Amino acid sequence: MDVNVSHDLLKKFLAFNHDKKLFSKGEKIGLCVSGGLDSVVLLDLFVRIRDAWGLDIVVLHFNHKLRADADDDADFVAALSEHFKLHFECGQQEVAHIAEQQKISVEMAARQCRYTYFDDIATILDLDKIATGHTASDQAETVLLHIVRGSGLNGLRGIPLKRGRIIRPLLCAQRREIHVYAIARGLQWREDSSNQDEKYRRNRVRHTLLPLLQAQFNPQITKALNRLSESAGESSLIMKRAGRKAFRNATKHTADGKIILEIERFLAYLKSLQRLILQQILDESGHDPRILSFSRFENILSFLRAQQSGRTLRIKENFSIMISGRFAIFGEVSEEKRHFLIINKGPGRYELWNGLFLEIKEILKPLILKSKNRESEYVDADSIVDPLIVRSYQDADYFYPINGAGKKKLSDFFIDEKIPFYDREHVPVLESAGKIVWIGGLRMDDRFKITEQTSRIFKLRIGTREQKNSF
């Protein structure tokens, strides 16, 4: 064994952790061990510091069922765990079948299945951290892949050093250092034959593009790409803070989970911030921000710039943008929510929706009108026929606004009153015998107003549950 080589990498590993604060003494750490070179070295390094650091180590393995010898990899890692007297956990899934079902690449399906398993087992075992064996060479390959794809600043970060409880403590070392260490320590590992298959883009970068750049352009290309990744990561943090501020300034949330974007304010930002705003909208709506490709981003920008009210752009099967005046509404595609309640017309308090209630109170004549707010209205009680219906507006609705100039479509009334499209379906509409009595909190119908012939009066009030009943 070459003691100096072994000591050098261990020293580098510990110094990197000290600088980046990846893990601490006394923690329970899950090590993702595939059985390959990098993960075996990761395991060896942690075993060497286990006692001094008081670490509780759990070995995690995920079998993708993609190769005939995949079960042998699992057996190999299980034997390693037993040798070091470590707890071993193994998960497995038919990744190729999942990729076919979800119509995604095998690499993407493998990654999703693997990390879902690691996250789940970490919760079950109450792990503080999950360490993977990604190296500086993996980082260089990832950055190059993203450059070739035309990535922005966020993609140039490459593999994040930390993400939640996942840490990558070997990003300090290149693959050749890892290999020299393994030889010096007399370690054994498994070779994954798929790592040589150049049908995978990463393998083409690893075996063809990166060696070409190293030989003909920059012998230190791996270090250069890692510096680029670190610099991009720092810049990305600054941009993300600016993006969150821009998101708060340009958007608001509705009660039913939609996000409303003020289009003109959004378009005033630089493209880099526009992208971050849209990514945060996707993230807060439960969608992967990475679906915002360059072409999709440009399509959304064109759609927003056109600002054609009433138009809809579908982003995903169940997620779309709808233009409403100067706003864009981001939300799930579903049947419009329509409220509909049948109540007695007699006095009482009736619970509606979104925390609203309708209160009906009989008022004795002669009526002395006090200063009246928009939440209440006085109507001719005898002109109302049972049952009284409280519902959402309908496209064909019309009424005769009190003191107005005759018949008016309710949709036009909403436009005049500047009621946003996304709020209209929640406005209570009171209907009696097919006629609109009152647009709750907005305007009553002239046909139900109090006249000299009125003998009984109802006071109608729309309130919220925080308000006390006036009876």
Tell me the pLDDT tens digit for each residue of 250-269.
999 876 678 999 999 999 99
- Which tens digits make up the pLDDT trace of 260-297? 999 999 999 999 999 999 999 999 998 888 888 888 99
For CATH 3.40.50.620, the residue range(s) in the chain are 3-229
* pTM of the complete model: 0.67
pLDDT at 471: 29
What are the residues facing 390 on neighbouring strands?
341, 430
pLDDT tens digits along 97-155: 999 998 888 888 999 999 999 999 999 999 999 999 999 999 999 999 999 988 888 88
Q: What's the whole-number mean pLDDT along residues 428-432?
A: 90
Give the contacts of 188 (CB within 8 A, at least 6 positions apart).
Answer: 40
User: Which residues belong to CATH 3.30.465.60 in the chain?
Assistant: 254-332
Report the alpha-carbon distance of residue 261 to residue 63 in Å, rounded: 44
Question: Which whole number is the average pLDDT over 402-420?
Answer: 85
Report how far residue 141's alpha carbon sits from residue 157's, in angstroms, rounded to the nearest whole number: 12
For the record, the structure tokens of 388 come out as 């009284």
Q: Which pLDDT tens digit goes with each residue over 33-86?
A: 999 999 999 999 999 999 999 999 999 999 999 888 999 999 999 999 999 999
CA 310, CA 322: separation in Å to the nearest integer? 7
Measured in residues, the chain has a length of 471
CATH class of this structure's domain 254-332: alpha beta
User: What was the pLDDT predicted at 108?
Assistant: 87
Tokens at 251, concatenated: 């958007």
Domain 3-229 superfamily per CATH: HUPs (3.40.50.620)
Q: Which residue has the tokens 């990604």?
A: 134
Residues of the chain with CATH 3.50.40.10: 340-464
Contact 96, 113 (CB under 8 A): no
| Residue 368: predicted pLDDT | 64
Instruction: Tell which CATH classification among 1.10.3720.10, 3.50.40.10, 3.40.30.10, 3.90.79.10 matches the domain 340-464.
Output: 3.50.40.10
